[in-house]
Each structure stands twice: as structure tokens, then as C-alpha cells.
Amino acid sequence: MKNINERLILALDVDTEKEALEIVEELADLIGYFKIGMQLYYSCGNELVEKIQQLGGNVFLDLKMHDIPNTVYNGARVVSKLGVKMTNFHASGGLEMLSKAAQGLSENPSQQTIGIAVTVLTSLSNSDLDDLGIENNVDTTVKRWALLTKKAGLKGVVCSPQEIKLVKQACGDDFLTITPGIRPKWSVKNDQKRITTPYDAIKSGGDYLVIGRPIRAAEDRREATKRILEEMNQGLIDYKKERGL
């Protein structure tokens, strides 16, 4: 990665194309990826993906595909043709589904789409997993699903910042971690449980950070973004110092 900006993903969790494009136009030079989730995609569709790309923004299409293997294969194949730079799948779909996802993305060699898998949502805790009938705790589940994702040929996982080191130890430093649940010290917590600061996430070895409300809801979005990038950059400096890089 060339600079710290490329590691920042902004979640465009808004309702309309107008709101989304205003944000992209304002921040395209500061943000590495703009994440289009279900809320916005179901409202605006593929046309918005193309418009963001035309404005110079890289798109992370966050649809969390989870279906039978052949359906996911075809979905991944189509997504790659859209030219998105990153997309995701649910690790709980299993090895065959994840392998088909990786295969679908590879069908378009002219477009290198980073395929990742979602492990345990950052809104969930150990008690939530127990309610779902999953006997393992969060750490064990994240580790098992990360190893499954790597075996399937995808490039990384979405996990909370608290599991970055665990994933890196299990899967290697080259295996990507994409971490939501990032909240600057000056931001409110909102509804996510397993959270940390931009500084701590990067210092722990995180590759990409997903941030939404602290930027979108800021009175000055560019200033908020710059403050977050400063925190991330200091985290990277200290990460390198600790490892003698």
C-alpha cells in the first residue's frame, strides 16, 4: 500500500444517490475505498457504482453474499465485471461456497477484485453466538472462519479490531484484515460492541479500516477524515517501530 489513505474505507450508509455522490466528490482525494452496503445498493443499484468510479473513487461492494455455491459463483462473476475493487461473502457459507466465490472473481482476469469473507459481525458478542447455537466463543469462531477463508483462496476477512492479531497469527501477515468497529477517541460508540480507535487498529497490524458515522456525521467531513488519517499514520509509525521496520 502506497500511503495511509488507501487503507481508509468510508461506509456510505445513506439513503440516496445524491447524498452519496456529494460525499464522494468532497472526499475522493482522501479516501481509499467507498463502501456501498445494502441500504444504498438496494436503493441505487449498479449505476451508482459506475458514477462513483467516474468520480475517481474505488468501490467496496458490501453485499455479504451467502447462498448456495453456484449462486454465489455467478454473483461474484457479475460483481467483478462491474469493476469494483473489493467485495465480500459470509464465511459461514462454508468452504465450497467460499471457493466458488474466489473462482467467480477470477473469471475476469482484467479486473483484480479483492475477495474477502465476513467472520463474526462486530455487533455480536459471545452471548449472541450462544443464542445462535454456536458453541465456540468469538475468538475461536473468527480464527476458524479465517482459516477456512484462506483455504478457499480469498484474500482476507472482515473482523473486529480486537481479532486482528489473532487472524494474522493464524493466517499470516499477508492475509488481509478489514476492520469495522473503528471509533476515534472523540467519537461516540453507537451500536457496535467490539470497537477500537484508528490508532490502535493500525498499530495492531490492521490493513483496512471501515469508518462511517464519525466522518459522515461530522460538521466538517474533510477535517474529521484528516484527523482519522493522522491517528492511523501514527499507528503505522509505532507499528513499524515495534517491529524494527
Per residue in 57-97, pLDDT (tens digit) is 999 999 999 999 999 999 999 999 999 999 999 999 999 99
Which domains are present in the chain?
A: 4-243 (3.20.20.70)
Which residue is it, cell 472482515? 158
The answer to whether the beta carbons of residues 164 and 178 sit under 8 Å apart is: no
Tell me the three cell numbers of residue 216.
Answer: 459522515
Mean pLDDT of 188-207: 78
Q: Which candidate, 86, 73, 153, 161, places its Cα nearest to that of 120? A: 161
Entry pTM: 0.91
Tell how far CA 140 is from the center of its chain: 20
Q: Which candidate, 234, 178, 176, 183, places its Cα nearest to that of 212? A: 183
* Residue 154, CA distances (Å) to 98, 204, 239 in order: 7, 22, 25
Residues annotated as catalytic (active site), given as ranges: 64
Q: How confident is the model at residue 245 (pLDDT cuts 50, 70, 90)?
A: confident
pLDDT in tens, 132-176: 788 788 888 899 999 999 999 999 999 988 899 999 999 999 999
Write the DSSP symbol of residue 219: S
Tell me the three cell numbers of residue 120.
Answer: 463474526
Task: Indicate if the pLDDT at residue 124 is higher than 90.
Answer: no
A 10 A CB-CB count for 71 gives: 13
